[in-house]
């Protein structure tokens, strides 16, 4: 009798932690199962709970943060189907909350941090891209299905990543950097639209 009781208590406790860490939103059954069964994901979920609570307490725009959190839950976390995806997304979101990546707290990334090859994890206009710098020239190149897609230039201005195609001005992109760790880059369309994440990979 003790074992069934302990298991139920464990599941209920995990559910409470999930609800708190996720901004009071119940995860999908698939996500909940992974969080309960994977210690690393569970730890990241608990970390998210603490970071989110702290941000609500000290942040200047709690209502905006709640809206952003719900959007992250629906558009990012709940789209994951395995532990690896959840680890990546939780890590990025925790870094975003901890660094206070909103514009009033400054930018979480420096230009040198962007000099790498990046591969899409979730969302995004590019499947993979690389940002390089040589002297004063900043070059951008992207690939689709491992084939060259677009080349252009880039710059970082007030935490906005600008990508331009000199041959076609219509193919220009602006992304606000909303979060960064050593391996994960979180972006959002500068107009406040779609969110996306990329992970750092080996160079092309």
91-149 confidence digits (pLDDT tens):
888 877 776 644 445 677 889 999 999 999 988 899 999 999 998 899 999 999 999 99
Q: Same domain, yes or no, for 66 and 19?
A: yes
Classify residue 91 by burial, with Cβ atoms within 10 Å: 0-12, 13-18, 19+: buried
CATH at residue 184: 2.40.128.280
- The pTM of the full predicted model, rounded to 2 decimals, is 0.55
Residue 84 confidence (pLDDT): 92
Is pLDDT at 7 greater than 90 in this prediction? Answer: no
Greater pLDDT, 2 or 168: 168
Tell me: pLDDT of 56 over 60. yes
Number of domains in the chain: 2
Of the ranges 6-10, 140-144, 161-165, which one carries the lowest mean pLDDT score? Answer: 6-10
Q: 63 and 80: one domain? A: yes
More confident of the two residues 141 and 35? 141
**Where is the domain boundary, 56, 79, 104?**
104
Q: Note the pLDDT of residue 17.
A: 42
Cβ–Cβ < 8 Å for 201, 184: no
Q: In this structure, are 45 and 128 located in the same domain?
A: no
pLDDT score recorded for residue 93: 86
Of 142, 153, 99, the closest CA to residue 118 belongs to 142
Give me the percent of the chain exceeding a pLDDT of 70.
Answer: 79
Do 100 and 10 sit in the same domain of this protein? Answer: yes
Are 97 and 118 members of one domain? no
Query: What domain range is 192 assigned to?
Result: 107-201
- Report the distance separating Cα 100 and Cα 126, nearest Å: 26
- Distance between CA atoms of 134 and 117, rounded to whole angstroms? 15
Residue-level pLDDT at 126:
96
**pLDDT class of 174 with cuts at 50, 70, 90:** very high
Domain shared by 100 and 115, yes or no: no
Q: Are residues 70 and 152 in the same domain?
A: no
**Under 8 Å between Cβ of 92 and 179:** yes
DSSP element (H, E) containing 177: strand 173-180
Domain end (from 80, 104, 128): 104
From CA 19, how far away is CA 26, in angstroms rounded?
6
**Residue 203 φ/ψ, nearest 5 degrees:** -65, 155
Same domain, 154 and 181: yes
Q: Which of 59, 75, 104 is the last residue of a domain?
A: 104
100 and 7 share a domain? yes
Both 99 and 164 in a single domain?
Answer: no
Per-residue pLDDT, 99: 62
Identify whether the C-beta of residue 35 lies closer than 8 Å to the C-beta of residue 41: yes
The least confident of 46-55, 93-102, 111-120, 176-185 is 93-102
């Amino acid at each position: 009798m003790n074992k069934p009781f302990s298991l139920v208590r464990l599941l209920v406790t995990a559910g409470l932690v999930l609800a708190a860490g996720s901004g009071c939103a119940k995860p999908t059954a698939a996500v909940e199962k992974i969080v309960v069964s994977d210690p690393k994901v569970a730890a990241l979920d608990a970390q998210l709970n603490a970071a989110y609570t702290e941000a609500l307490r000290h942040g200047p725009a709690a209502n905006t943060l709640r809206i952003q959190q719900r959007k992250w839950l629906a558009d990012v976390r709940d789209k994951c189907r395995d532990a690896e995806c959840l680890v990546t997304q939780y890590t990025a979101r925790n870094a975003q909350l901890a660094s206070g990546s909103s514009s009033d707290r400054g930018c979480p990334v420096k230009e040198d941090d962007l000099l790498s090859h990046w591969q899409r994890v979730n969302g995004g206009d590019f499947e993979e891209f690389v940002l390089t710098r040589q002297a004063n020239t900043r070059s951008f190149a992207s690939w689709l299905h491992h084939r060259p897609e677009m080349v252009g230039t880039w710059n970082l201005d007030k935490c906005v990543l600008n990508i331009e195609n000199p041959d076609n001005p219509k193919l220009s992109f602006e992304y606000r950097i909303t979060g960064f760790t050593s391996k994960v880059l979180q972006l959002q369309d500068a107009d406040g639209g779609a969110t996306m994440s990329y992970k750092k990979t080996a160079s092309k």
